[in-house]
Amino acid sequence: MLIPAIHKTLNELSGLVSQLSDDDYCCPCHDLSNATIGEHTRHIIEMFQCLENQYETGVVNYDNRKRDYLIQTNTAFAKECIDTILSQFDKPNKNLQLQQIVDGEELLIESNYHRELLYNLEHCIHHQALIKVAIIQSKTIAIDADFGVARSTIEYRKQCAQ
């Protein structure tokens, strides 16, 4: 269930990105404190890249990411990055350590690959909700009604409708 949910969510993001010109992708949004759709997309992509790139070492540090300007300014490159991520989930679950520096102190927290994939899925949905704010008034951009909505909320809404 996890991998298909990630595929669905990232494919929704890719579908959105494919509808945008580079100018729209890079346009600051007042309602997002002048952040761009591209910046949010880059952040989503780089979090998945961190997990995939640091999987072998067994230590994942999400602060240790590239912050690639091209991802946030070039829709074609962003879509390529999403496609690459979508092809990388065939790794087996294994124990990982999550590394974080908090107030100058290093923390190492036990985790595993599937837990971090779930974290990235939820993180992606959170940023898609923010992206939705930037595009909600557009009459030319089509997104699924559930774009940026947590899976638990979708399920809850289904129960309420019955």
List pLDDT tens digits, range 58-89: 999 999 998 999 999 999 999 999 999 999 98
- Rounded Cα–Cα distance for residues 105 and 137 (Å): 43
Rounded to 5 degrees, what are φ and ψ at 112?
-150, 170
pLDDT at 155: 82
Listed in sequence order, the residues at least 6 apart from 119 whose beta carbon sits closer than 8 Å to its beta carbon are none
Q: Which helix (H) or strand (E) segment is 131 a member of?
A: helix 113-135
Q: Beta strands 95-102 and 59-60: pairing type? A: parallel
Strand order in the sheet with 59-60: 59-60, 95-102, 105-112
Task: Report residue 22 CA to chain centroid gap.
Answer: 19
Counted residue by residue, the chain has a size of: 162
pLDDT at 149: 85
Whole-number percent of the chain with pLDDT over 90: 79
- Rounded Cα–Cα distance for residues 16 and 113 (Å): 27
- CB 78, CB 41: distance < 8 Å: yes
Reply yes or no on whether the pLDDT at 55 is more than 80. Answer: yes
pTM, entire model: 0.91
